[in-house]
Structure 1
Amino acid sequence: MDEIVYKLESLITKGVAYISQSSDAEMTQKPLPEKWSRKEILGHLIDSGINNLQRFTEIQTANKPFKIRQYKQDDLVKANNYQDAELKEIANFWASINNRVCYVIKQQTKETLSYKIELPSDEISDLRFLIEDYVDHLEYHLNQIVK
């Protein structure tokens, strides 16, 4: 997990550096009316962080396999109205939630990483996969922001 932790820490640093030098106008510009702005992508990453932090912690005491519940990403971005939110506030929240996720990842053991999960597709995997997938997902979307 050391590589994943390092990757997540690097992504947090990269995101904070980019966002702190970006204007609200740059972050709220939409490529197309139906597409998310950079700010909304950041909001989606907050929602992802919240949901995954909950998964990473609940699995510790839940019956296995732990069922992964999907969340409605578009609805959450709209409900949270990230487009009109203060950039500094959501940037700080994004960094904070990911610092907390990073801390929780560091607490995992060989045993806990092998905890079984059931994906929405009914496939069985483990917590290690879920953590790696989370960090890969974050990297994918952060690259959309830091173009």
Structure 2
Amino acid sequence: MQNVINELNAWLVKVPEGFSRFTEIEISERPLPHKWSKKEILGHLCDSAINNLERFIRIQYEDQPLVLVPYNQDQWVDLQGYRDIPIEEVMNLWVGLNKKIINVISKISQDQLTLQCDIGNNQLRTLEWLIQDYLDHMEHHLNNQIFK
């Protein structure tokens, strides 16, 4: 888990620096009518952090395997109104949530990393897999959509 923590800490520096180089138009403009802007993608990453933080905590004390409840990503982004919120507010939320995630995963024991969750259709994964998937998902959006 130390590699994940190191990567998350690195992103906590890189993302605010990277966004500081964009204009308001660059972060707010949608590439296509039904595609998210850079700011909305960052908002989506906040929603991912909210949902995964809860999962990382619940899997440690609820009955195994924890059945993960999916969430409607488009509705979350739309209903949270990230497009109309100042970037500083979205950035502060993203940074704060990821600091909290780092805090939580830094306290997870090696044994707890083997705890199981059902990601859907009876597909069982470990907590370790779930945490790595969170980072991979974040890096996909950051590398391929925001900072491409």
Normalising by the residue count of structure 2, what TM-score does the alignment of the two structures yield?
0.95
The equivalences for 1:21-36 within 5 A come to 21-36=21-36
Deviation string, structure 1 residues 3-38 (Cα, Å, up to 9, x no partner): 111111112211111123322211001111111100
Equivalent residue for 1:51? 51
Q: 2-side partners of 1:50 and 1:29: how far apart?
A: 24
RMSD (CA atoms):
1.0
Q: Following TM superposition, by how much is the alpha carbon of 1:128 offset from its aligned partner in structure 2, in angstroms?
A: 0.2
Equivalent residue for 1:74? 74
Q: Following TM superposition, by how much is the alpha carbon of 1:122 offset from its aligned partner in structure 2, in angstroms?
A: 1.5
Sequence identity, in percent?
Answer: 38
Q: 2-side partners of 1:21 and 1:88: how far apart?
A: 13
Normalising by the residue count of structure 1, what TM-score does the alignment of the two structures yield?
0.96
Aligned-partner residue type, residue 32 of structure 2:
L
Equivalent residue for 1:42? 42
Aligned length: 147
Larger RCO, structures 1/2 (Cα 8 Å, 6+ apart) = 1
Q: Secondary structure at the match of 2:117?
A: strand
Q: Following TM superposition, by how much is the alpha carbon of 1:121 offset from its aligned partner in structure 2, in angstroms?
A: 2.7
Gaps of 5+ in 1: none
Aligned-partner residue type, residue 123 of structure 1:
Q
Structure 1 outlier segments of 4+, above 6 Å: none
The equivalences for 1:79-90 within 5 A come to 79-90=79-90
